Structure 1
Amino acid sequence: MNTALDFSEIDAGMLAEVGGKAANLGELTRAGLPVPPGWVLTTEAYRQVAVGLETSGEGLAERARRHLLEASVPATVHETIVKAYTALGDDVPVAVRSSATAEDLPFASFAGQQDTFLNVVGADAVADAVRRCWASLWTDRAVAYRESNGIDHAAVRLAVVVQTMVDARVSGVMFTANPVTGRRREAVIDAAPGLGEAVVSGAVNPDRFTVHGGEILERRAGDKRLAVRALPGGGTERVEATGDAPGEELCLTDAEVLALTELGTRVEDHYGTPQDTEWAIDHDGRLWLTQARPITTLYPLPDDPRPGLRAYFSFNVAQGVMGPLTPMGASALKAVASGGAGMFGHGPADPLDGPAFMTESGQRLWVDLTTAVRSKAGRVIMPRMLQLGEARTGPVVDQLVTDPRLSLAYTSRRPVIRGLRRFAGRIHAPSRVLLALTRPRKALAYTARVGEVTDRRLRLPADATPEQRLDHAQRVLVNAFPFIVSIMPIVITGYGLFALSSRLSGVPLGDMQDVLRSVPHNPTTEMDLELWDLSTRVEPEPFRKEPVAELVRRYRAGTLPPIAQREITKFLDTYGHRGVAEIDLGVPRWSEEPGHILGVIANYLRMDADAGLAPAALFANGARKAETAIARVAAEAGRKGRWRAAVVRFALGRTRMYAGLRELPKFYVVKSLAGVRRSLLQVGEHLVGLGVLDTARDVFFLDLREARAALGGGDLRGLVAERREAHERESRRRHVPRMLLSDGTEPEALATPAADGALTGTAASAGTVTGLARVVMDPMGAHLEPGEILVCPSTDPGWTPLFLTAGGLVMEMGGSMSHGAVVAREYGIPAVVGVADATHRITTGQEITVNGAAGTITLPS
């Protein structure tokens, strides 16, 4: 096997042989782009030197580096290096660069993880630099980066690029899409005199240029106080700039900026995706491209063929599910949304397509708000709705309406009114509001009956065929929302009366939050309280001593102590359809994987909580505070008229009766999803029998259409493996925009940042608490000591068992009526939601003060 290849012999398909950097340089060379000449020492050479290298265990990085630095290099490899280097010319200065097989990939760039050696002169110096490149595959940072991206150390190899140095007058980096805002086709260029190492390493404040549509939008001079320059005979030096204002003059002309942008466009067009490039301009004015890699941090764009700028809102963010959805989970939610859209007269011809306003990107669902943003009615209604459920998005929408590309286009309110009338008629809103006002027992009985009918609709004969199960699944999903949402007029009546009481009494809504403490009929709080109560009844010994995995094994074997076995089974019979990220029916339920619940019980039993701080006692105390609050608000109303006091007492009594029902529709929808999941697992078993899938759960990496087509046979195991790998990769994404424009812009990134140290959000639950923060990104296995303040991205009901011991709550997402805010109020814990980057700006163990009435978090100075 040839261990040295010229760039002209390399293409993008040779990743395993030459690594990511070399594959890109070969591809760019073959595309006719201006790449300095060079060659690559292939991964075969590394393999020969790395024989016997252990890739696991303690001290891995240090052991691996030492092995590679001390191992003997085969004579044939050394001869190849000398011969290929000599072919470039006599003592030509070169850059020696690492090129790993896990590098410059579409999902992980690994930029800067391995070493580069500049201005290397002489064959022996090149051979030494090659060895040091091999060792740099095992730097601590490279090992940690691979582990964080789920890449197997043993599968990674390293090639080494040897490329002719450019004697650069000026050099730098260029992104062909704005890496901060995400806007596509907006080039961002950083430039400084000398070699690009100064810019890449962050050693200099470079000049910055931003270009879009052939127009230079920004020219910003950096201080450029440092330049890295090549030394005669090899090596580099850092040269400090002299003078009072060395950085005032820009180091690129406008013509050079536009030429760079044109080059970037060619590179992006070749790859079909935005690129992070390195470039240099030599002293003759010639432009060189020294590297290109994908920009891996950009969020993928929705595939939407419609013209013009479009604005999307993250459905996942609204639901508190930051991770990706399984293909079946997304397919199911599209079917549910189709049923909902049909209630307004906008259902699609095929429910499996999903409604026109819903699209998919990054394995998450997005809601197209363009029509609402561009309509007079939408601009009135939407900000108010967002303030309740996703407060941070409201100001973003306010900013969007000023964009001339999203100018007002729909002025008539008739379509909105027509749709609302249709919706209200379908759910019998007037009659149910009247029922809620006049016959509360019947209203509550109706909500229970919806649950009973939902359970009946989920039943299927045990001998149902796979085709029948898929037919049934589609019926359940499409009809779930129209039926279950009929509860909402009753819920809205409760909150409407809450607002009326504020108006009649003159007490601001923010000062009435105690009325909403410890409300009855909330299935989520009932579940949490039952779980705590269960922990006080079970035999404590195994939960205090044994790890969760052993508890799960014993529960499944039926060998837990008798009370624990019986009570946990009873709990899961009622609530086992729930789980973390439960809107995705591709995610296992607690009944399937009870480890989370058993771990929560174990955590409760390890606590030494005061009896007065037990959740049941706190919940009862909250109910008493609510009655006191009602009396106070009624008294304020009475000062304006005796009849007002009576109306307020009546109204707030109804509010408490119905407010907890807000969680009930989702409870029933999730139960429907869990029922469909159980049925689809049987379809999966059938497909395993046909040889289509490996395991029954693989069915969730198909969508509903694909599952039906698979009944005809075939082999989808490769497709499932690809999708599972992509899902795991996407689950590691660290940032998901709440809003996204079709040109890639993340509008929130354009907002003016808050003052240093200021953490503000939406007031969600009144009260002030000072305590230690506990940052939790995933509730599975999380432990929260009594009184600690939970800091998290968002929550769904799978998180709420943690609320029982939390002293306060801080969430990055949500509004005053979002799930986490509602439950926090019911538990009486101070909460602030919609706090930008809270999980990064607050650290575990830090003492913070949460003011749930003011919407502020104070950090230590």
Structure 2
Amino acid sequence: MDGSGPLTVSLGEIDRGAVALAGGKGANLGDLIRAGFRVPNGFVLTTRAYALGAKAAGVDPARPTEAAERLRAAPLPEGIADAALKAYAGLGSGRVAVRSSATAEDLSGASFAGQQDTYLDVLGDADLLDAIRRCWASLWNERAVAYRRANSADDRNVSLAVVVQEMVDASAAGVLFTADPVTGRRRRASIDAVAGLGEKLVSGAVNPDHYAVDVTRRRVVQRPEASKAPVLSDQDVLALAELGDRVERHFNAPQDIEFALDGEHNVLLVQSRPITTLYPLPKDAPDPEQDLRVYFSGSVFQGYFEPFTPMGIQFFRLLSGALSGMFGFPVKDAVSGAGIFKDLGMRLYFDVTPIVRDPVGRRIFVTVTSMGEARTSTVVVELSADHRLALARRSRFRSVRAIGGALIRAGIPHAALSVMRSPDVTPERYVREVEDLTRIDLPVDASAEQRLDAFERLILTASPRMFPRMLGTI
């Protein structure tokens, strides 16, 4: 920050392009106001103010603990304090919410939200200036620093603005996800709400009411238990889902929204950011309203959560094509892999929709996944209730015959019988066969292209022969 730019700006004067000046939270709120959404009135103490305050306090990004202590202890430079109090007076000097808005926050690549501090019900000049200092200091708290380092964000390149907004006399508040954050299902709003201020939800002081909405059909599909009085009426829930849909369309991405309802049940937005935990949909994914698809994470099922390298992804593409042909479903392009193979976020995913829709396939899939990563089978059971994933009208005999035929074509029953006949010698025989299958004869001076071609041929030809033997051994 070079020291140029205003110290304060009204929220209504900025838009989503003002992240460098107002931080992610402030920029998004300003954009919502300009688009006509209801947002509490307020202003932003900009990153220029932080840069000047940090310089005056002697902040060194290489010493985060000391930086936080210096910012908490040092008084705001006179010009910054005057600008903040003047803007505060413009709001009527009443109760306000003071929120940190970092330049690395609310971005599409990672969610830094919640790493810095927020203070509610702040009243009076002295308390406002104190809340600003504490927000500045929170840029250097242990949690925020660790999270930035885990996400490769350079401490020297981050800054902080402070959003100051009129407090909403909230009858209820909460969080609205415009897509299901657990299953990744689009067009299914997920809402958690508490009576009064949302701070009780964020702090975990109370258990929120949970609601789910089928946005397309405008139907509440999940409510709190009937034994307790709900925080929100169905009308409130549907209004929130519709509002969330509009916000999602505005930002062209699923949103994580914080909201408050005033005494007349008008909804005010106090924050909106992308849901960064959602994986992108495949480029060839159909409209989920017409054809909902289920993508299964092979990586997570195996307990591997890191992204693959491009070479690793291509290996599994080739492998999927080879195994698809082994089961009797040859692919047109071996390099592109089987149609069920999907590369999302450099992780392995498979389109298992036909399996989930099959009477026998679904039962087998739930049973198998329950043996691995436990949450997968739970999610599949939940998805099964969606009308778009209703079981296909086919006899179980037909399903069993199709599955059995694929196993026979792959030679798996024969391999299993061989193991049963001679279990003691099978492991050694399997090792010898693998060594024979994977032996590649290439001249010493073979080019890189020749070596790559040989490796691709090995995957395509050896995998169908090794896989049945491996399963039989298991």
Q: Shared topology, TM-score over 0.5?
A: yes
Q: Which of the residues 313, 326, 344 maps onto 1:343?
A: 326
Query: Which residue of 2 is the match for residue 477 of structure 1?
Result: 459
**Paired residues, what number?**
459
Alignment TM-score, normalising by the size of structure 1: 0.47
Q: CA 1:437–1:190 in 2, change beyond 3 Å: closer, same or farther?
A: closer
Contact 1:334 1:353 in 2 (8 A): yes
Q: Which of the residues 365, 371, 374 maps onto 2:354?
A: 371
Q: Which of the residues 238, 251, 259 maps onto 1:258?
A: 238
Q: CA 1:196–1:392 in 2, change beyond 3 Å: closer, same or farther?
A: closer
Q: Which of the residues 5, 8, 11 maps onto 1:4?
A: 8
Alpha-carbon separation, structure 2, partners of 1:251 and 1:443: 62
Gaps of 5+ in 1: 223-246, 493-661, 663-816, 818-861
Residues 119-161 of structure 1, C-alpha deviations (whole Å, 9 max, x = no match): 4445554333322221222234333443444433333211111
Q: CA 1:106–1:443 in 2, change beyond 3 Å: closer, same or farther?
A: closer
Q: CA deviation at 1:175?
A: 2.6
Q: CA deviation at 1:285?
A: 4.3
Alpha-carbon separation, structure 2, partners of 1:199 and 1:486: 52
Query: Which residue of 2 is the match for residue 189 of structure 1?
Result: 191
Q: CA 1:313–1:55 in 2, change beyond 3 Å: closer, same or farther?
A: same
Query: Which residue of 2 is the match for residue 701 of structure 1?
Result: none
Q: CA deviation at 1:483?
A: 4.0
Query: Which residue of 2 is the match for residue 768 of structure 1?
Result: none
Q: In the alignment, is residue 64 of structure 1 matched against residue 44 of structure 2?
A: no
Q: Structure 2 counterpart of 1:82, which letter? A: L
Query: Which residue of 2 is the match for residue 281 of structure 1?
Result: 261
Does the residue aligned with 1:324 lie in a helix, a strand or coil? coil
Q: CA deviation at 1:383?
A: 6.5
Q: In the alignment, is residue 295 of structure 1 matched against residue 275 of structure 2?
A: yes
Residues 315-369 of structure 1, C-alpha deviations (whole Å, 9 max, x = no match): 2245443322122211121112111212233232111221012222342212333
* Percent of paired sites with the same residue: 44
Q: CA 1:17–1:470 in 2, change beyond 3 Å: closer, same or farther?
A: farther
Write the mapping of 1:457-496 to structure 2, written as runs, cut at 5 A.
Answer: 457=441, 459=442, 461-464=444-447, 466-485=448-467, 487-488=469-470, 492=472
Does the residue aligned with 2:107 lie in a helix, a strand or coil? coil
Q: CA deviation at 1:46?
A: 1.1
Query: Which residue of 2 is the match for residue 20 of structure 1?
Result: 24
Contact 2:410 2:464 in 1 (8 A): no
Q: CA deviation at 1:14?
A: 2.8
Q: CA 1:336–1:442 in 2, change beyond 3 Å: closer, same or farther?
A: closer
Q: CA deviation at 1:289?
A: 1.0
Query: Which residue of 2 is the match for residue 174 of structure 1?
Result: 176
Q: CA 1:270–1:460 in 2, change beyond 3 Å: closer, same or farther?
A: farther
Query: Which residue of 2 is the match for residue 607 of structure 1?
Result: none
Query: Which residue of 2 is the match for residue 55 of structure 1?
Result: 61
Alpha-carbon separation, structure 1, partners of 2:270 and 2:293: 36
Alignment TM-score, normalising by the size of structure 2: 0.81
Contact 1:208 1:221 in 2 (8 A): no
Does the residue aligned with 2:31 lie in a helix, a strand or coil? helix
Does the residue aligned with 2:16 lie in a helix, a strand or coil? coil
Does the residue aligned with 2:17 lie in a helix, a strand or coil? coil
Q: CA deviation at 1:385?
A: 6.2
Q: CA 1:29–1:47 in 2, change beyond 3 Å: closer, same or farther?
A: same
Gaps of 5+ in 2: none
Q: In the alignment, is residue 423 of structure 1 matched against residue 398 of structure 2?
A: no
Does the residue aligned with 2:174 lie in a helix, a strand or coil? strand
Alpha-carbon separation, structure 1, partners of 2:183 and 2:421: 49
Q: CA 1:320–1:82 in 2, change beyond 3 Å: closer, same or farther?
A: closer
Q: Which of the residues 393, 406, 429 maps onto 2:390?
A: 406
Q: CA deviation at 1:441?
A: 7.9
Q: CA deviation at 1:190?
A: 3.4
Query: Which residue of 2 is the match for residue 330 of structure 1?
Result: 313
Alpha-carbon separation, structure 2, partners of 1:415 and 1:192: 50
Q: CA 1:315–1:189 in 2, change beyond 3 Å: closer, same or farther?
A: closer
Alpha-carbon separation, structure 2, partners of 1:407 and 1:471: 42
Does the residue aligned with 2:338 lie in a helix, a strand or coil? coil
Q: CA deviation at 1:481?
A: 0.8
Q: In the alignment, is residue 131 of structure 1 matched against residue 133 of structure 2?
A: yes
Q: Structure 2 counterpart of 1:462, which letter? A: D
Q: Structure 2 counterpart of 1:77, which letter? A: I
Q: CA deviation at 1:103?
A: 2.0
Name which one, 1 or 2, has greater alpha-carbon Rg. Answer: 1
Q: CA 1:354–1:164 in 2, change beyond 3 Å: closer, same or farther?
A: same
Residues 16-47 of structure 1, C-alpha deviations (whole Å, 9 max, x = no match): 32212112112212222111222212212211
Does the residue aligned with 2:24 lie in a helix, a strand or coil? helix
Does the residue aligned with 1:32 lie in a helix, a strand or coil? coil
Write the mapping of 1:753-772 to structure 2, written as runs, cut at 5 A.
Answer: none
Alpha-carbon separation, structure 2, partners of 1:260 and 1:117: 25
Query: Which residue of 1 is the match for residue 99 of structure 2?
Result: 97
Does the residue aligned with 1:168 lie in a helix, a strand or coil? coil
Q: CA 1:395–1:49 in 2, change beyond 3 Å: closer, same or farther?
A: closer
Alpha-carbon separation, structure 1, partners of 2:131 and 2:231: 31
Alpha-carbon separation, structure 2, partners of 1:390 and 1:293: 29
Alpha-carbon separation, structure 2, partners of 1:172 and 1:385: 37
Alpha-carbon separation, structure 1, partners of 2:229 and 2:378: 38
Alpha-carbon separation, structure 1, partners of 2:423 and 2:207: 70
